Structure 1
Amino acid sequence: MGGSLWPWLDASRPFLGMVLAVTALATNMIISKMAMSTGTSFFILSLYSNALATLIVFPCAFFFQRSKRLPMTFRVLWRIFLLAIFGYLAEIGSYAGINYSSPTLSTAMLNLVPAFTYILAVIFRMEVVNWGRFSTISKSIGTVVSIAGASVVTFYKGPAILNKPLTSGSTMQLLLSSQQNWVMGGILLAGASFLTASWCILQASILKMYPAEMMIVAFYCLFVTIQSAAVSLIAERDITAWRIEANMGFVAIFYSAIINIAFRLYVTAWCLWRTGPLFVALFKPLTIVIAVVIGVIFFKDTLYLGSIAGAIVLIIGFYMVMWGKAKEGEMNKGTESSSNTSPLLQDKPAEV
């Protein structure tokens, strides 16, 4: 019993890591929404958070990954720079989408990431398509269902079910529901989801070339800081926007830098290296459950019928994709086992 415990713990580490990662992401969405509602610019929030994360991750990378300190070539660096562009645009799109809508909508739209990741994986031949298999049919239909669910969440708000917004408005309600534009927020968040899926695919390919997760995260944060500084100089010309005066702004910057960027990106990179992009993307729908619980119970966020209906459709699509992926994994294991234990079958052509 004791001997089988450690292999089980080792196998469960990617699962536990992704649960922690999506929890950090969901919490960051809510904290960022509150900071932006008190006047903090999302451009400045991104710049300061990534700059602080760079100062944290670089020393840690050189100290903890000395054995993995491979020579950093231009071939790897330009890919990390491109990864930073995808990540920064996804981050800004996510912040802007949250600013227009709510953390609940933002986490619901994250359910699109597995669908987009599957489409990109098929395009880049990282996923096999065989219409004669139920697994391929399930993944393809699940992708379409996920996109349909995201459309429901975006274009149908519906009546408020919990924490109905007040006409006069309490302080917390004003913090969480100001400047709402549901459709614009949904479009921005859908774009951020596509960029996140592209980010997962690209980072998985970089990790194959340069398997040092923390060093990749360190250079990634540095490049995002440079890019966000350039954009912020253009977008925020008012000097007052560069000053963080609200306490919630400082909380959002430190939480985003330490937990959402440094910790979450390292854990995500570690899981990407060991499991691949689709496994990581499949955990994004869990974010909506965590964010709804935190937002509705602790921050009095408004829960709308459209969010629930669309989220249910999204989750159905997500599990269809996940079921198809699991079935393919079982078939691949069976094929490997047959080839190892049945030498007489090796002369036969493999099934596609």
Structure 2
Amino acid sequence: MVKPVLGMVSFQVVFAGLNIFYKLAVSDGMDLRVLVAYRYLFASAFLAPLAYFLERKSRTKVTWRVLGLSFVCGLTGGSVAQNLYIAGMKVTTATFATATTNLLPAATFLLALAFRQERLAIRTFSGQAKVAGTFLGIGGAMLLTFYKGVDITPWHSSVNLIAATSHHPAAAGNEATANYAMGSLLCITSCFFYALWLVIQSKLSREYPHHYTSTALMCVMTTLQSSAFALCFDRDAVQWRLRFDIRLLAVVYAGIMASGVMLVVMSWCVKRRGPLFVSVFNPLMLLVVAVLSSLLLGEKMHLGTALGAVLIVAGLYTVLWGKGHETPANEVAKVSELPTTVNNDDKRVDVAAPPRLFAANSI
């Protein structure tokens, strides 16, 4: 139990650091489209050899359908979602953008309903909890967007890495010129595209259950898409040149640590404890980003951000509670639909009886 907990805590801390590096690189004047392209280029270079060596014996043939699904996954979860997210962070703050990511379970639930991968079951407590959690999350997002409130930062640090690393003095005053309405729209739209990726990714996982290979394929597709997208808007060689500065550090950290190493850690935690266990650690990233942003970036925490984050996190756990309590009911419903007995050569077998093999303490 201790190792999965430590793994997920490290995962959230690394991704909190990713938000800080994103903010520093964009504030330094790096084109966000170039940043996304380089992130997935480094991720592809890291994951492709890993997938080859770990799954070379078990991997099946990659079909055109798998390539097509990988392309769509890269488009929704990589190119579009990441470009929208960084664009939203650029005009707001790292804490604000991170708070909106907690809308992901609610967005995923709505899209899963639309694609008929989820049942509403409004008459059950689990269905009512998922609906209530979705509305709580939406309400929190609206509060984040339309209400700023007073400064409630518990400390005020004199350290501001944006001012120290940026070659653009105006970037240090981002807090005063932030456009929270546009930023929230971009970040929330990013959540919906990321949720769409999760829905499509579940289909890809069923058709091609080789996790490392499918993830490497998605990263390669995202690299091609985001590179083409970036070249359409910015062909300035200066933007693509990497030196030993914050830009290189940001793309290496994003590609290798966030999209490479931590992806393996998350996969291991999902295998050991399940997706619900992984999801409940998501709000920890918001706390870490809020602390790091106020200590290192000179950002201020406002009452509206805190209240909106509380509502979003409450909605997150309400949806997860509903998801966690619907599985036993669904299994009971499926078992109740089976015939109670089967007559085979005059031998009656009770198929509705639960097998003794799966004891409660064996999970």
TM-score range, shorter chain: 0.7 to 0.9
Shift of 1:273: 7.7
Shift of 1:16: 5.8
Matches within 5 A, 1:211-290: 211-245=209-243, 247-268=245-266, 283-290=281-288
Contact 1:30 1:103 in 2 (8 A): yes
TM-score (normalizing by structure 2): 0.81
Matches within 5 A, 1:291-310: 291-310=289-308
CA distance in 2, matches of 1:211, 1:196: 20
- Equivalent in the alignment of 1:171: 163
What residue identity is the alignment partner of 1:123? A
Contact 2:157 2:298 in 1 (8 A): no
- Equivalent in the alignment of 1:314: 312
Task: Give 1:25's match in structure 2, choosing from 15, 26, 35.
Answer: 15
Q: Is 1:120 equivalent to 2:118 in the alignment?
A: no
CA distance in 1, matches of 2:329, 2:35: 46
Provide the secondary structure at the position in 2 that maps to 1:67: coil
- Equivalent in the alignment of 1:203: 201
Q: Is 1:51 equivalent to 2:41 in the alignment?
A: yes
- Equivalent in the alignment of 1:78: 68
Shift of 1:193: 0.6
Shift of 1:223: 0.8
Shift of 1:309: 0.9
* Residues 105-162 of structure 1: CA deviation (Å, up to 9, x unaligned): 1111011100011111222222222122111011101101101101111221222222
CA distance in 2, matches of 1:170, 1:245: 18
Provide the secondary structure at the position in 2 that maps to 1:318: helix
Matches within 5 A, 1:103-142: 103-142=94-133
TM-score (normalizing by structure 1): 0.84
- Equivalent in the alignment of 1:184: 182
- Equivalent in the alignment of 1:149: 140
* Residues 15-71 of structure 1: CA deviation (Å, up to 9, x unaligned): 665544333322101111011111211111111221122111111111122233211
Task: Give 2:55's match in structure 1, choosing from 65, 77, 87.
Answer: 65
* Residues 223-242 of structure 1: CA deviation (Å, up to 9, x unaligned): 11111111111111333222
- Equivalent in the alignment of 1:326: 324
Note closer, same or farther for the CA distance 1:144–1:125 as it changes in structure 2 (3 Å cut): same
Shift of 1:287: 2.4
Matches within 5 A, 1:87-102: 87-102=78-93
CA distance in 2, matches of 1:229, 1:170: 26
More divergent stretch after superposition (280-289 vs 321-330): 280-289
Contact 1:114 1:284 in 2 (8 A): no
What residue identity is the alignment partner of 1:80? S
Provide the secondary structure at the position in 1 that maps to 2:315: helix
CA distance in 2, matches of 1:336, 1:199: 28
Provide the secondary structure at the position in 2 that maps to 1:157: coil
More divergent stretch after superposition (173-182 vs 128-137): 173-182
Contact 1:114 1:318 in 2 (8 A): yes
- Equivalent in the alignment of 1:5: none
More helix by share: 1
What residue identity is the alignment partner of 2:202? A
Residue-pair matches, total: 334
CA distance in 2, matches of 1:20, 1:260: 11
CA distance in 1, matches of 2:11, 2:337: 37
Shift of 1:286: 3.3
Contact 2:276 2:324 in 1 (8 A): no
Contact 2:157 2:296 in 1 (8 A): no
What residue identity is the alignment partner of 1:228? S
Provide the secondary structure at the position in 1 that maps to 2:20: helix
CA distance in 2, matches of 1:287, 1:239: 34
CA distance in 2, matches of 1:140, 1:201: 18
- Equivalent in the alignment of 1:4: none
Segments of structure 1 that go 5 or more residues without pairing to the other structure are: 1-7, 348-352
Shift of 1:338: 8.2
Contact 1:118 1:127 in 2 (8 A): yes
CA-based RMSD of the aligned residues comes to 3.2
Shift of 1:319: 1.7
Contact 1:49 1:256 in 2 (8 A): yes
Note closer, same or farther for the CA distance 1:306–1:133 as it changes in structure 2 (3 Å cut): same
CA distance in 2, matches of 1:131, 1:186: 30
Identity, in percent, stands at 31
Note closer, same or farther for the CA distance 1:112–1:125 as it changes in structure 2 (3 Å cut): same
CA distance in 1, matches of 2:148, 2:314: 19
Shift of 1:190: 0.4
